[in-house]
Chains A and B, each alone.
Chain A
Amino acid sequence: MIPAPFTYRRARTVEEAVDLAAEAGDEGKFLAGGHSLLPLMKLRFAVPEVLIDIGRLAELSYIRDEDGHIAVGALTRHHDLEHSALLAAELPLLARAAGAVGDPQVRHRGTIGGSLVHADAASDLPAVGLALDATLVARGPSGSREIAMTDFFRGLFETALEPGELLTEIRIRRPAERGWSFQKFTKRAIDWAIVGVAVQGGRVALVNMDSVPARAGGVERALAAGDGPAAAAAHAAEGTSPVSDINASAAYREHLARVLTARALAEAASRN
């Protein structure tokens, strides 16, 4: 339960964070809330030699109403997302999902940026990001760039971020369709989702139905073609490859995906 030895560096500015990351190269990892990374390090599944603590970068913790979109700083904690009046009004899907991550103690530390960059398909916020069709802003040695959410998740725990790039902001356009729903199925309240579904209007994203966070293309196409919630939900498992593990078989996950998608679409419709 003790991490392997490493060197700790603290970044006082975003620039310094990027510089420290360049310096550390392959051996370095950013440390935000630490609630994805430190658990892995404590079990020695991850053994980075350098940790660059970006947790003090207050300039990256914000939720702002900007021109046409909501801007969320990458280091905004789940707790703050959960309790944000702005999000409750404009992006309740994000507020609700953030409030379901882990437990209250975890939510006081974990950040949206940390969660997205960790890119675990069993986590809730990647699916929410996809359902909100967010745009991510990353800062690297050669400056800032934007990455579409749909381009962000590349593989198992793999994102489009280049080595040394720091995620700084998540931009979400005000959704045209206001109906939303977040369905997270667990055995216990604190468990990771066995399966989850995030819906914003006609966009549907799944939690834990694949090794990479993904949208439910079959469902979306059916909705666009005019299918109602139940008919569209029947397509929920199409194109997915859920694992069979100690928590559920693939077949059960596929079934849950259909059931939860139907419930999510019905709930979203009731909120339109």
Chain B
Amino acid sequence: MKVAIGVNGRQVEAEVEDRLLLVHFVREVAGLTATNIGCDTTSCGACTVLLDGESVKSCTVLAAQADGCEVTTCEGLTGSDGRWHAVQRGFHAEHGVQCGFCTPGMIMAAVSLLAENPDPTEAQVRAGLEGNICRCTGYHNIVRAVLAAARDGRLPGGGSPAGAADPAEEPA
């Protein structure tokens, strides 16, 4: 069947098997491999993307179900000016990334969490990430990253308060 799905603002049209999972559409048809697959029981959240602005596990959505919808992946978070999203900045500043495999899905889950609850408590962050497994970090710094992003409070691509440095521009 034919599907047309907006992925990070770009229309992607293709003839696909009816059973094609959205995660494979993203990875193989749209060619965006940041979104990962970590399980086969909708448990781990590594495949989390935004579907029409809400976090979903793309391994449990058919491409057919997403026909005509907008998908946002981690690759789509960075602004066209190269500025990182607040969540990306938080994950860097707080060392919320180790092996990186859970990271794109975790970031998208966090983006959705903050969109629905811009000022969460630590407990709300932990509950909000219950559907995302990380084996490396113990979640400690991921929670700090999301809380930092909440404090940051800037919209993606928005202006930066005077004096704040953008890690994408900083020397290493």
| A-to-B contact residues, CB < 8 Å | 1-8, 10, 31, 34-35, 38-39, 42-43, 51, 53, 55, 79, 102-106, 108-109, 188-190
Contact = CB atoms under 8 A, between A and B. Distances in A.
Contacts of B60: 34-35, 38-39, 42, 106, 109
Contact of B65 (A4, A34, A39, A189): A34
Interface in B49-67: 51, 54-57, 59-62, 64-65, 67
Given A8-B1, A104-B55, A108-B54, A34 B61 contact: yes
A3 to B, nearest CB: 5
Contacts of A2: 19, 21
B42 A39 contact: yes
Given A1-B40, A108-B56, A109-B56, A189 B127 contact: yes
Contacts of B41: 39, 42-43
B131 A5 contact: no
28 contacts: A1-B59, A2-B21, A3-B19, A4-B19, A8-B64, A10-B67, A31-B65, A38-B61, A38-B62, A42-B41, A42-B59, A42-B60, A43-B41, A51-B18, A53-B62, A55-B65, A103-B45, A103-B132, A104-B112, A104-B130, A105-B45, A105-B55, A106-B57, A108-B56, A109-B57, A189-B130, A190-B130, A190-B131
A39 B17 CA distance: 18
Nearest to A99: B127
Contacts of B21: 2
A105 B57 contact: yes
Interface of B: 1, 17-19, 21, 37, 40-43, 45, 48, 51, 54-57, 59-62, 64-65, 67, 109, 112-113, 127-128, 130-132
A43 B42 CA distance: 11
Given A103-B45, A104-B55, A53 B64 contact: yes
A123 to B, nearest CB: 14
The 4 closest A-B pairs by CB, nearest first: A103-B131, A1-B40, A8-B18, A108-B54
A108 to B, nearest CB: 4
B55 A10 contact: no
Nearest to A83: B116
B45 A5 contact: no
Nearest to A77: B54
A105 B109 contact: yes
Contacts of B130: 103-104, 188-190
Nearest to B43: A190
B65 A53 contact: yes
A39 B41 CA distance: 6
A53 B112 CA distance: 25
B113 to A, nearest CB: 7
Contacts of B109: 104-105
B18 A5 contact: yes
A189 B67 CA distance: 32
Contacts of A39: 41-42, 60
Contacts of A188: 130
B108 to A, nearest CB: 9
Nearest to B60: A38
Contact of A5 (B1, B19, B57, B127): B19
B54 A79 contact: yes
A10 B128 CA distance: 32
A80 B45 CA distance: 21
Nearest to A189: B130
B40 A42 contact: yes
B40 A105 contact: no
Given A34-B65, A35-B42, A189-B127, A5 B48 contact: no
Contacts of A51: 18, 62
